């Protein structure tokens, strides 16, 4: 065999050595293409999974239904000194951090906010309004997009104390509270009627409660409605009941879900009063003659 016929393929080692430069160039090429397209590579990889906190169901605390203190026109114009003192206390603990101890909108917690927390000393540029209705609206609904939270958990009388504390101490020229203002605010928010706060039970509890109670309650309600229909002309108590309710179904299911009222007319009125607005009865119940309440009570007790 002559020397010329030797080729690199004859010796595997020579072959490997000869291919290294090519291999190097190919790998380098792949590397460059990869680095250039790093953005696309990342884009196409799986998106990061964000934890969705909105799916966490917070359990409601158990709380009894209640009528929050009703306020009257006089209180809206001038709450008691105790209420204003209470307002001062609430201001110091809940508002001063943003609105400043002197109401100038310069509290430490408000520096990063835009718009700045309101300076109560000027009447210009309020989002709602510096009058009673506007301030009530702010506390009821908040201006959440601007960082002002709602304070609707404050009972109506304390809210008035707070508003008047701000008016008396920080506002240079607070808009007058006229009868028209009071009418307007009462029409919007029914302050003089008292705010009804429905009771709450934990969601999980409510679901199992409904599953258990619903079928039975629906059956009882059906019977009660039929009896009411048949007696609505003949029985004075049934007639009185129909006149005393906004919604007979709601009123009947309210009475069916609660036995306390059956002790006597006094308990009956008490139970209704405790939950007026939410139980289907009208205020008329409290101006009815004793004998009428008796008749209505006797009818209901015998039919439910
Ligand atoms: C986290 C900071 C912060 C706290 C705490 C806070 N506020 Fe505010 N408040 C703001 C900001 C910000 C604005 C400005 C919103 C705007 O101009 O729309 C504002 C505006 C207001 C306004 C004027 C609304 C209008 O019509 O322009 C009132 C009234 C008010 N707050 C009352 C209160 C009261 C009362 C409290 C305490 C119970 C309170 N705020 C607590 C940040 C706060």
Residue range 146-160, pLDDT digits in tens: 888 888 888 888 999
Question: Residue 69 has what pLDDT?
Answer: 65
Q: Considering only 118-127, 128-137, 198-207, which range has the smallest mean pLDDT?
A: 198-207
Distance CA 78, CA 177 (A): 9
> What percent of the chain is modeled with pLDDT above 90?
39
Is residue 206 pLDDT above 80, yes or no? no
Substitution site in 118, 123, 125 for ligand 1 pocket (most atoms within 8 Å of beta carbon): 118
Is residue 138 pLDDT above 60, yes or no? yes
Topology classification of domain 66-197: Cytochrome Bc1 Complex; Chain D, domain 2 (1.10.760)
Is residue 210 pLDDT above 70, yes or no? no
Question: What are the Cα distances from residue 53, in Å, to 50, 57, 144?
Answer: 9, 9, 19
Which is more confidently placed, 136 or 283?
A: 136
Confidence class of residue 168 from pLDDT cuts 50, 70 and 90? very high
Question: Residue 98 has what pLDDT?
Answer: 93
State whether the beta carbon of 154 lies less than 6 angstroms from ligand 1: no
Is residue 205 pLDDT above 70, yes or no? no
Torsion of the alpha carbons at 68, 74, 75 and 76, rounded to the nearest 10? 90
State whether the beta carbon of 127 lies less than 6 angstroms from ligand 1: yes
Average pLDDT over residues 279-299: 90
Q: What is the residue extent of each domain of the chain?
A: 3-34, 66-197, 203-303
State whether the beta carbon of 142 lies less than 6 angstroms from ligand 1: no
Is residue 2 pLDDT above 80, yes or no? no
Mark 240-270 as b/e (b = at least 16 C-beta within 10 Å).
bbeebbeebeebbbbbbeeeebeeebeebbe
Substitution site in 92, 98, 170 for ligand 1 pocket (most atoms within 8 Å of beta carbon): 98
Residues 6+ apart with CB under 8 A from 280: 245, 246, 247, 248, 249, 250, 251, 252, 253, 254
Question: Residue 57 has what pLDDT?
Answer: 45
Average pLDDT over residues 92-107: 94
Instruction: List beta partners, residue 67.
Output: 196
Q: How far is the CA of 85 from the centre of ligand 1 (A)?
A: 20
Which is more confidently placed, 142 or 46?
A: 142
Average pLDDT over residues 55-82: 69
Average pLDDT over residues 50-55: 50
| Structure-block tokens of residue 240 | 């009185």
> What percent of the chain is modeled with pLDDT above 70?
80
Question: Residue 64 has what pLDDT?
Answer: 55
Is residue 38 pLDDT above 60, yes or no? yes
Confidence class of residue 164 from pLDDT cuts 50, 70 and 90? very high
Is residue 67 pLDDT above 80, yes or no? no
Q: Considering only 118-132, 161-175, 192-206, which range has the smallest mean pLDDT?
A: 192-206
Confidence class of residue 68 from pLDDT cuts 50, 70 and 90? low
Is residue 207 pLDDT above 70, yes or no? no
Average confidence score pLDDT of the chain:
82
Q: How far is the CA of 95 from the centre of ligand 1 (A)?
A: 8
Which is more confidently placed, 77 or 57?
A: 77
Instruction: List beta partners, residue 200.
Output: 63
The residue contributing the CA closest to ligand 1 atom 37 is 95
Q: What one-character-per-residue DSSP string does the chain give?
A: --GGG--GGGSHHHHHHHHHHHHHHHHHHHHHHHHHTHHHHHHHSPPPPPP-GGG--PPPPPB--EEEPP--HHHHHS--HHHHHHHHHHIIIIIHHHH-TTSSS--GGGTT-SSPPP-TT--TT-SS-SSHHHHHHHHHH-BGGGTB---TTS-HHHHHHHHHHHHHHT-SSPPP--HHHHHHHHHHH-GGG-EEE--B--HHHHHHHHHHHHHHHHHHHHHHHHHHHHHTTT-HHHHHHHHHBS-HHHHHHHHHT--GGGG-HHHHHHHHHHTTTTSSB-GGGGGS-HHHHHHHHHHHHHH-
Instruction: List beta partners, residue 196.
Output: 67
Residues 6+ apart with CB under 8 A from 239: 232, 233
Residues 6+ apart with CB under 8 A from 15: 8, 9
Chain centroid offset of residue 268 CA:
31
What angle do helix axes 236-244 and 203-231 make, rounded to 10 degrees? Answer: 130
Contact 65, 274 (CB under 8 A): yes
Average pLDDT over residues 199-219: 61
Residue range 234-257, pLDDT digits in tens: 999 999 999 999 888 888 988 888
């Amino acid at each position: 065999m002559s020397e010329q016929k030797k080729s690199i393929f004859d010796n595997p080692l020579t072959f490997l050595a000869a291919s290294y430069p090519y291999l190097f160039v190919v790998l380098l090429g792949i590397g460059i293409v990869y680095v250039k397209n790093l953005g696309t590579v990342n884009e196409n990889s799986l998106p990061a999974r964000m934890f969705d906190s909105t799916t966490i169901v917070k359990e409601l605390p158990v709380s009894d239904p209640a009528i929050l203190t009703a306020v009257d026109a006089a209180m809206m114009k001038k709450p008691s000194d105790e209420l204003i003192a209470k307002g001062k206390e609430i201001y110091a603990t809940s508002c001063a951090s943003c609105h400043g101890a002197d109401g100038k909108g310069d509290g430490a917690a408000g520096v990063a906010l835009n718009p700045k927390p309101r300076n109560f000393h000027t009447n210009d540029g309020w989002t709602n309004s510096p009058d009673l209705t506007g301030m009530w609206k702010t506390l009821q609904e908040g201006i959440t997009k601007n960082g002002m939270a709602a304070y609707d958990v404050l009972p109506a009388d304390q809210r008035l104390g707070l508003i008047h504390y701000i008016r008396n101490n920080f506002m240079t020229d607070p808009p007058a509270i006229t009868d028209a203002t009071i009418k307007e605010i009462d029409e919007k928010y029914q302050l003089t009627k008292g705010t009804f706060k429905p009771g709450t039970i934990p969601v999980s509890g409510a679901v199992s409660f409904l599953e258990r109670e619903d079928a039975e309650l629906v059956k009882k309600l059906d019977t009660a409605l039929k009896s009411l229909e048949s007696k609505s002309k003949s029985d004075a108590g049934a007639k009185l009941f129909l006149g005393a309710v906004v919604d007979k179904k709601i009123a009947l299911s309210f009475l069916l879900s609660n036995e306390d009222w059956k002790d006597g007319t006094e308990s009956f009125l008490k139970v209704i009063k405790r939950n007026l607005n939410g139980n289907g009865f009208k205020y008329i119940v409290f101006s009815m003659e004793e004998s009428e309440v008796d008749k209505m009570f006797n009818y209901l007790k015998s039919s439910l």
